[in-house]
Structure 1
Amino acid sequence: MPLGPSRRALLATAALLPLVGRPAEASAAAPKTAQQYYDRAARLAGDDPVLRALVKALSPGLSMPETKPLQPLRIFDDVAVLGTSFVQATALLTAQGIILIDALGSPDDAEKIIVPGLRAVGADPSAIKYVVVAHGHSDHFGGAQYLADQYGARVLMSRADWDLIAAERPAHAPRRDLVIADGQRLTLGDTTVTLHHTPGHTPGTVSPIFPVRWKGRRHTAMLWGGTNPPAATAAKRTNLASVLSFAATMRRAGVDVELNNHGGADHGLTRIEQLRAGTTGGENPFVIGRARTRRFMEVMETMLRGRIAQDQEPSPARPAPACC
C-alpha cells in the first residue's frame, strides 16, 4: 500500500535525526560538516571494495566512465545481468517466466542487448512477463515498450515516475501500464519480489527485495533502485529518509545480497568479471552477508548527510574522501 501521511511524516522526521540507531554518545559526537561526514563514510568503508566504490559513487563531482559492452552473465542460478558498463538490467529467471528489472536505454538496446543476452545465458526472451522499471530515467525504461510489443510483457512503474516520464519524456515513454504500490508483491512461478518505494533519486524510485539461489542455496537480495543523489536539497532529504526506511526493511527481510542497476557504483562490474573468470573460489561475491548490507546502507546514509550538509555550506565542492 502507498505510504500514508503519518508514515511519510515519520520518515521525514527520521531523515533529520543524526545517525539513528547509534549509541547516544556516538550521536552526540556526530559530524557536522560535509567533509566530516565524507571522512566518516570513508572510515566506515575501510578497505571493503564494495563500500569504497559506494563512497566514490556518492562523492560530489563524480565523472561517469566510458560506456563499454558487458557480456551477459548469470550471477546467481536464477539471476542474469545484461547491459553495458554504464547501466544494467537484471533478469529474474523463474519457473513460469522472467521478471526483468529495468530495460536499458532504447528499443535498440532491448533488441540488441537484452534479447540476445537472455539467449546467451540460456533463457528465452519471449518468457519475459514483467518489466519492473526501478525509476523514470530513460536509461532504465527506454527498452520497455519494445519488450511489451514483442513479447506482451507488462510494464510496472510507480505512479510518481509514470507521471515524471509523461511530463519529461513523453515521446520516449512506454505506454502507461501497471502502477507499483509501496510494498507490493509481484509473484511469478516460485519467485516473489517485494517492491518498495524509495523516492529521492526520482520521485518514484523503487527498490526490490527478492529471493535468489547460488548453487541451490537460497539467499535474499536487494537492488537499490537509484544511487546518484538528486540536485535539490529537499529531494536529498527525501532520499535520506528512503535509505533509513529501506535499511530497516532490509534488516527485517534478512537481506544478505547487494545488487545495483549501475554496477560501477558498488564494485558490481568487478564482481561480475570475478565470477566470469572463476576466481572467487566457488563463493559468490554478491553475497556479502547481513552485516555488510547494513554497513552498505550506513555508508549511503552518511554520504547523503554529507551532501545535504554541503548544500548548506558556502564553500565550493568538497574533494572525494582519501580512501577512494
Structure 2
Amino acid sequence: MSFGQSVPSRRALLAAAALLPLAGRPAEASAAAPESAQRYYDRAARLAGQDPVLRALVKALGPDLTMPTAKPLAPMRIFDDVAVLGTSFVQATALLTSRGVILIDAMGSPDDAEKIIIPGLRAVGADPAQIKYVVVAHGHDDHFGGAQLLADRYGARVLMSRADWDLVAAERPGNAPRRDLVIADGQKLTLGDTTVTFHHTPGHTPGTVSPIFPVRWKGRRHTAMLWGGTNPPAAIEGKRATLSSVLDFAATMRRAGVEVELNNHGGADHGLARIEELRADPTRTANPFIIGRARAQRFMKVMEVMLRGRIAQDQEAAGGQAPRRS
C-alpha cells in the first residue's frame, strides 16, 4: 500500500471563471443585467428535468433546505466491493479491498461507530478489524465522530486535509480524532487492489475532500466519485469557493471517466431511494448509482447553476453588493 505525493491543483486557474456568467451569455448583457437568483434556480430545474437524482440535488442546494431527521438505515452493499452504513441523515462508505477496508467518514460519535459501523460491516460480510484507514471527507462532527474509536480499537489510520484538521482542532477539540495523516490535493492511497485519489474541494468546509476510486458491479469495473460536502456555507466567500471546486472537480471527473456518483448524505442525491431499489431486487442487472459519464457531468452542471443562484441571492439581499464576512 502507498500514500502518494500531492500534485498541483487547477483550482487557481478556475477561481476567476467561477464568478463569470454561464457560457453562451454575452458579457456585455451580463454586466448590464445580472442574472437573478430565480433565473438560475429555474435553469437548474430545467437541467434536472424528470431525473430523480438531479431533482434531489436541486432541492438539496435550495436556500430553504430542511435537514432530515435521522432514521435507521440497514447496511447494504451497493457494489460488489462498496457498502453503505449509517442512518437516513448521514452515511459512511466502506471500500472493501483485497487487503482490508477503507472507510470514508465515521458518522457522528463513538456510539455510532459501536452500534452502526461495526455491526454494519459484519452484516455485509466484512471484518471491522480490517479497517485500515478512516478517511474524513470534511471536518464536521457527523463525519469524524467515530473515527478515534476505530483507530483505538483496530489501529486504523485517520486521514483528513490539513485545513480541516485545523478546523476540528479549533472548533471541536473535545470530539476530534487525534491528528494523524494529512490528505494533500491529488494524493493517492492504495490498499490491496484499490487506489483512491483524493481531490481538495473546499467550500462546505475549508478542507473538504472528494475522492475518486474504482468500484465493481457484477464483476465489471467502473469509476466512482464521492462528493465530500454538498450544502454550501452561509458566507458568500464559501459559496464562491464551493463553485470553484465544482468547476474544478467536474473537469477532473471528465478526465477520470467518472460514471458513478455517490454522496455521504444520501438524501441530497436520491441515494437513499437508490439503496432501497437495490435492496428490493438484489439480482437486478442495472445499478442505479451507475449514471454514466454524461449524466455525471450534468450532475455537476446542476450543482454549478444552483450555486450561482445562491451567490446571486446573497448579492440581491445585499443590494447588489456581495456581503463580506464579519
Q: Do both share a fold (TM > 0.5)? A: yes
* Alignment correspondent of 1:197: 200
Instruction: Quote the sequence identity (%).
Output: 80
Letter in 1 for 2:80: D
* Alignment correspondent of 1:322: none
The reply on whether 1:106 has 2:109 as its aligned counterpart is: yes
* Alignment correspondent of 1:209: 212
Structure 1 position 27, deviation (Å): 7.6
Q: Per the alignment, in what secondary structure is the counterpart of residue 196 of structure 1?
A: strand
Q: Per the alignment, in what secondary structure is the counterpart of residue 317 of structure 2?
A: coil
CA contact (8 A) 2:11 2:248 kept: no
Q: TM-score, normalization: structure 2? A: 0.92
Cα distance in 2, alignment partners of residues 303 and 27 from structure 1: 20
* Alignment correspondent of 1:41: 44
* Alignment correspondent of 1:140: 143
Letter in 2 for 1:231: A
Cα distance in 2, alignment partners of residues 27 and 286 from structure 1: 37
* Alignment correspondent of 1:12: 15
Where does the alignment leave 5 or more consecutive residues of structure 1 unmatched? 317-324
1:87 aligned to which of 56, 68, 90: 90
* Alignment correspondent of 1:223: 226
* Alignment correspondent of 1:156: 159
* Alignment correspondent of 1:319: none
Mean alpha-carbon deviation: is it higher for 306-315 or for 174-183? 306-315
Decide whether aligned partners of structure 1 residues 149 and 56 sit closer, same or farther in structure 2, where only a CA change above 3 A counts: same
Mean alpha-carbon deviation: is it higher for 63-72 or for 35-44? 63-72
Structure 1 position 64, deviation (Å): 1.4
**After TM superposition, where is structure 1 displaced by more than 4 Å over at least 4 residues in a row?**
25-31
* Alignment correspondent of 2:3: none
Cα distance in 1, alignment partners of residues 318 and 49 from structure 2: 27
Task: State the superposition RMSD in angstroms.
Answer: 1.8
Structure 1 position 67, deviation (Å): 1.0
Deviations 1:112-144 (A, max 9, x none): 100000000000000000000000000000000
Structure 1 position 44, deviation (Å): 0.1
Where does the alignment leave 5 or more consecutive residues of structure 2 unmatched? 1-5, 320-326
Q: TM-score, normalization: structure 1? A: 0.93
Structure 1 position 282, deviation (Å): 2.0
CA contact (8 A) 2:8 2:186 kept: no
Aligned residue pairs: how many?
311
CA contact (8 A) 1:274 1:280 kept: no
CA contact (8 A) 1:88 1:262 kept: yes
* Alignment correspondent of 2:322: none
Q: Per the alignment, in what secondary structure is the counterpart of residue 188 of structure 2?
A: strand
* Alignment correspondent of 1:256: 259
